[in-house]
């Protein structure tokens, strides 16, 4: 998503990455990796619990989840990964954003 961030913002979308680390760890990671999107520390899992993100000790903590939430705060797409490698391709997400933006 970092490499195609401009494609997301061109579709009037914002990426918000929510993670289990604290504020300082997030700040350091974002600075070190020059991430252009928003990082939201969630060490107490309050946000991840609202959206049902899985936490599994055998899978090394939080398992990735991806949601598309429209401007009316409706979840339009959700993907709960089976593993750290199970992440939808950007092309799929960008295509869904195009559909949302065209009222489909």
CATH number at residue 67: 3.40.30.10
User: Which pLDDT band holds residue 87 (cuts at 50, 70, 90)?
Assistant: confident
CA distance 75 to 52: 12
The tens digit of pLDDT for each residue in 33-81 reads: 999 999 999 888 888 888 776 665 554 556 678 889 998 989 899 888 7
As a whole number, mean pLDDT of residues 91-103 equals 93
Residue 21 has pLDDT above 70, yes or no: yes
Measured in whole angstroms, the distance separating CA 66 from the mean position of its chain's CA atoms is: 5
pLDDT value for 9: 96
Quote the number of domains for the chain: 1
Range of the structural domain that residue 65 is part of: 5-101
Q: Report pTM.
A: 0.81
């Amino acid at each position: 998503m970092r490499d195609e961030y401009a494609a997301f913002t061109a579709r009037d979308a914002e990426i918000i990455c929510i993670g289990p680390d604290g504020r300082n760890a997030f700040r350091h990671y974002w600075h070190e990796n020059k991430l252009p999107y928003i990082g939201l520390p969630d060490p107490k899992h309050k946000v991840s619990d609202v959206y049902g993100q899985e936490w599994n000790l055998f899978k090394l903590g939080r398992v990735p989840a991806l949601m598309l939430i429209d401007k009316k705060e409706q979840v339009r797409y959700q993907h709960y990964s089976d593993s750290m490698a199970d992440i939808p391709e950007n092309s799929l997400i960008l295509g869904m954003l195009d559909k949302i933006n065209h009222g489909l």
